[in-house]
């Protein structure tokens, strides 16, 4: 029997890329590949890229440069670039990096087996089209699971066209998967031991997939998923404030399997900057939305995204952002200094001075960190559910996530990954909580 070929895959960026990488592994498994953690052992290297973070292209080219010695030592090594940077810069990647054999966009990776056969025959492949077929219908059964939690992509693409964002250009228009396929995939995951599923989408709450009795929104999908025996927890990310419909808000209050955590990016607290960003919502609308969500689920933990130094941002605009953060109170958040993305409207506007943007980011992150630690401290003494995901560093210790997505460490020698237990929180550390099993 021939020795299996080995695939090394590196994933950049968001949870959707993690999901996509798992599906790529499964697709290449059909070609006889198994994964390896060693580039030296690999017969194929795939870099699954993200275009959201700062200097995404530069990081890719730097990593490709590091692969050159491996290609020289092993000429048959195949190197591929996937994901959003591949979609945006396919031909340029091939021009700048002749060592690359494959460039594939995020909508075409179901074709990897066919592309691999072309590469093995000595050809180079670039596929950054938006194919008409449903890629998920052509992918093999889910196998690459990482324990009792799993991601499930339900929606892709974006129609919002925020002025700073490349997603509409790299992922395409909003498309929702059929409900029956999602329910079937979820049941398959549960049969393999998954107890928590996070629903993914660029604008996941814009989900409107075909169901047995018409289009389903995300709330209907959540409620139907909750009926699956053995599926104990449901989460979703990432949301847009304009797509938080009434029934979804209600689901947070009356669907017990929907966890009390919501990532709801606002980006800025300034109405003027929100208009410049083309966010199509204002700060007061966001405040009212938060009030309605908390009325439905008072213990919900909110997180958000913030961009500082957006073109035209003044001290007053930045002060409005700090004011919004203080008014809402976030359990955790992600913050970034604005970085221009070629081809987006904001990229043509004059940038805020780098020094000013750096100072604002430090001030904003200090405030967000203080809120995060306050939220964690407030958990001490409370009882929460914890789904164990893996063993901890200490003997007998287990690590898992609470209902509110906090990492929790518990000494529980007889437990195993996949156990869902009640825990009393006893301490709060910089990035995690400690507790005792009840």
- Burial category of 320 from C-beta neighbours within 10 Å (exposed 0-12, middle 13-18, buried 19 and up): buried
Report angle CA 342, 348, 353 to the nearest 5 degrees.
100
Structure tokens of 161?
Answer: 């066209």
Q: Could you tell me if residue 244 is left (phi over 0), alpha (psi between -120 and 50 degrees) or otherwise beta?
A: beta
Is 159 annotated to bind a ligand? Reply is no
Rg (Cα) of the chain, in Å, rounded?
22
Closest listed residue to residue 400, CA positions, set 433, 424, 377: 433
| DSSP conformation class of 269 | S
Closest listed residue to residue 134, CA positions, set 111, 165, 158: 111
CA pair distance 311, 181, nearest whole angstrom: 42
Structure tokens of 92?
Answer: 């340029």
If residue 199 lies in a helix (H) or strand (E), which one and from where to where? strand 196-200
Is 14 annotated to bind a ligand? Reply is yes
Write the CA distances from 108 to 100, 103, 138, 172, integer angstroms. Answer: 17, 10, 10, 12
- For every residue of 386-438, DSSP letters joined together read EEEEEE-SSTTEEEEEETTS-EEEEE-TT--TT-EEEEEEEEE-SS-EEEEE-
CA pair distance 99, 251, nearest whole angstrom: 50
Is 158 annotated to bind a ligand? Reply is yes
Residue 256: CB partners within 8 Å, gap ≥ 6? 226
CA pair distance 163, 344, nearest whole angstrom: 6
Structure tokens of 322?
Answer: 């700090």
List residues forming the annotated binding site.
14, 50, 84, 158, 162, 165
**Binding-site residues from annotation for [4Fe-4S] cluster:** 14, 50, 84, 158, 162, 165
């Amino acid at each position: 029997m021939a020795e299996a070929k080995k695939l090394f895959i590196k994933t950049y960026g968001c949870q959707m890329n993690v999901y996509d990488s798992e599906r790529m592994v499964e697709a290449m498994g059909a070609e006889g590949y198994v994964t390896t953690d060693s580039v030296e052992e690999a017969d194929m290297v795939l870099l699954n890229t993200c275009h959201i973070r700062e200097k995404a292209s530069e990081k890719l080219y730097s990593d490709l440069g590091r692969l050159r010695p491996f290609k020289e030592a092993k000429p048959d090594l195949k190197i591929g670039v996937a994901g959003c940077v591949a979609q945006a810069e396919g031909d340029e990647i091939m021009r700048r990096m002749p060592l690359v054999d494959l460039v594939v966009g995020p909508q075409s990776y179901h074709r990897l087996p066919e592309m691999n056969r072309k590469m093995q025959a000595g050809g180079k492949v670039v596929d950054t089209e938006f194919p008409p077929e449903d890629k998920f219908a052509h992918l093999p059964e889910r196998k690459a699971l990482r324990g009792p939690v799993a991601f499930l992509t339900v929606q892709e693409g974006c129609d919002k066209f925020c002025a700073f964002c490349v997603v509409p250009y790299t992922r395409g228009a909003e498309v929702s998967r059929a409900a029956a396929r999602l329910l079937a995939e979820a049941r398959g995951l549960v049969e393999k031991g998954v107890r928590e599923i996070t629903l993914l989408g660029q604008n996941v709450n814009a989900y409107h997939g075909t169901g047995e009795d018409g289009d389903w929104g995300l709330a209907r999908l959540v409620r139907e998923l909750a009926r699956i025996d053995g599926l104990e927890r449901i989460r979703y990310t990432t949301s847009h404030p304009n797509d938080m419909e009434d029934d979804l808000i209600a689901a947070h209050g009356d669907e017990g399997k929907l966890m009390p955590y919501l990532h709801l990016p606002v980006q800025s607290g300034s109405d003027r900057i929100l208009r410049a960003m083309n966010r199509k919502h204002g700060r007061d609308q966001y405040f009212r939305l938060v009030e309605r969500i908390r009325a439905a689920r008072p213990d919900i933990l909110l997180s958000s995204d913030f961009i500082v130094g957006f073109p035209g941002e003044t001290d007053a605009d930045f002060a409005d952002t700090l004011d919004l953060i203080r008014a809402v109170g976030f359990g955790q958040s992600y913050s970034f200094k604005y970085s221009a993305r070629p081809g987006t409207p904001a990229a043509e506007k004059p940038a805020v001075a780098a020094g000013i943007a750096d100072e604002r980011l430090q001030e904003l992150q200090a405030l967000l960190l203080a809120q995060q630690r306050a939220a964690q401290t407030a958990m001490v003494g409370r009882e929460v559910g914890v789904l164990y995901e893996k063993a901890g560093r200490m003997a007998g210790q287990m690590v898992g996530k609470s209902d509110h997505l906090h990492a929790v460490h518990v000494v529980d020698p007889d437990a195993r990954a996949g156990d869902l237990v009640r825990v009393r929180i006893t301490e709060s550390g910089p990035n995690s909580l400690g507790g005792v099993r009840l």
